[in-house]
Amino acid sequence: MSPEHQETLILLETNLDDMPAEWIGPLLDLLFDEGALDAWLTPIHMKKNRPAVQLSVLCSPERAQTLRMMIFTHTSTLGIRQQEIQRYFLPRHIEKVITRFGPIRMKVAEYGPGQWKAAPEFEDCLLAAQTHQIPLREVFGAALRAWSQTQKNEESSS
C-alpha cells in the first residue's frame, strides 16, 4: 500500500503581457493571503514575440472563485483558464531538531514502509543563519545531520 494521498485541486492560469512587473510581487502575496496553495510565474513569449509571464495559481476548489476575482481585480487580464487537477502528496508532520545554531523545525514524510525524508523549515534556517551570521547552507546541513542522527538513535533503540 502506498503512503501517498490524493486530492482534487484547481489550477488557474493567465498570461500577463501588458502590466508593470512590479505589480506581480504584491499580487502573489495577496493570492497566498486568500488561500492559494502555490503560485508561480513562467516567462513566455506571446504573439508578435511579446515577452510576458504566465501566472499559475494552485488552490482548493472552494477558493477558486475568490482567487479568480482577485486576479481579475489586480491584473490587466481579461481571461483566466481553469483546470481541475489531481495532486498526489505524502502526509507530513513537523519534528524539531536541536543544532548548534538552535532548534530547527523539520518537515518529515514517510514515502515507503520505514523510508523517510525530511526537509528543514526555510524560515527557521534563515533566522538561524542571520543570527549567527553564517551561510544558510551550513544551517540546512546541520539540521539534516541532526535529524539523521535522531533517526539512527531511534533505529538502534528499537
At 3-40, the pLDDT tens digits run 789 999 999 999 999 888 899 999 999 999 999 999 99
DSSP string, 26-62: HHHHHHHHTT-SEEEEEEEE-GGG-EEEEEEEEE-GG
pLDDT tops 60 at residue 1:
no
> Residues 47, 65, 30, 104: is their CA dihedral positive or negative?
negative
Nearest to 30 by CA among 62, 84, 69, 76: 69
So what's the pLDDT on residue 4?
A: 82
Amino acid at site 67: L
- 83 CB contacts (<8 Å, ≥6 apart)? 10, 11, 13
All three cell numbers of 23: 505589480
DSSP state of 135: -
**What pLDDT is stored for residue 113 in this prediction?**
87
pTM: 0.79
Domains of the chain in start order, with CATH, are 5-89 (3.30.70.1380), 92-157 (3.10.20)
Is the model more confident about 155 or about 145? Answer: 145
Question: pLDDT tens digit string along 59-89?
Answer: 999 999 999 999 999 999 999 999 999 999 9
- Model confidence at 2: pLDDT above 80: no
Residue 41 reports pLDDT greater than 70: yes
Count of residues making up the chain = 158
| pLDDT (tens digit per residue) in 125-146 | 999 999 999 999 999 999 999 9
Q: Give the per-residue pLDDT at 120.
A: 98
pLDDT class of 150 with cuts at 50, 70, 90: confident
Beta carbons of 28 and 59 less than 8 angstroms apart? no
